[in-house]
Amino acid sequence: MIVVIQKSLEASVQIEGNIKGQIGNGLMILVGIENEDGQEDIEWLSRKIVNMRLFEDEEGVMNKSLLDVDGEILLISQFTLHASTKKGNRPSYIKAAKPDVAIPLYEKMIAQLEGDLGKPIATGEFGADMKVSLINDGPVTIIVDSKNRQ
């Protein structure tokens, strides 16, 4: 499971012109799911996300977590994070999990993040054509792959 974490001042996702989810101060997260992903990946990533120190303390040092600043999360499914670009000019998405595998894992990721954060999170809609807006604070963008834990 790969996530792209972007620190945001505000972020939102629209589907067919309607806002599906939006946040203020917090993290906008793109998540890519592959067939080998499971509950262990979800739990590890969720703990990493809510505890990662990306927010400034009183001295301006990134020393506070999402929990410390009572921040919000916008989680967007993004199968293209698993694109292979080794051959040719058309990316291959063969590593990305099909919906019958990915949707239940995406829903478990939502539940895990809500439990670890202690409040509901905003989301997109799996498989929908989404328009995502973001004011990236910093900018701070971190990529984390649950397969690279060690």
Is there a catalytic annotation at residue 141? no
Polymer length of the chain: 150
- Locate 47 and state its tokens: 């703990």
Catalytic position from the list 6, 79, 112, 123:
79
Q: From its phi and psi, is residue 54 left (phi > 0), alpha (psi between -120 and 50) or beta?
A: alpha
Is there a catalytic annotation at residue 79? yes
What residues contact residue 91 under an 8 Å CB cut-off, 6+ apart? 80, 83, 84, 85
Helix (H, G, I), strand (E, B) or coil at 95: coil
Catalytic position from the list 6, 14, 22, 80:
80
Catalytic position from the list 78, 85, 126, 150:
78
Is there a catalytic annotation at residue 80? yes
Catalytic center residues: 78-80
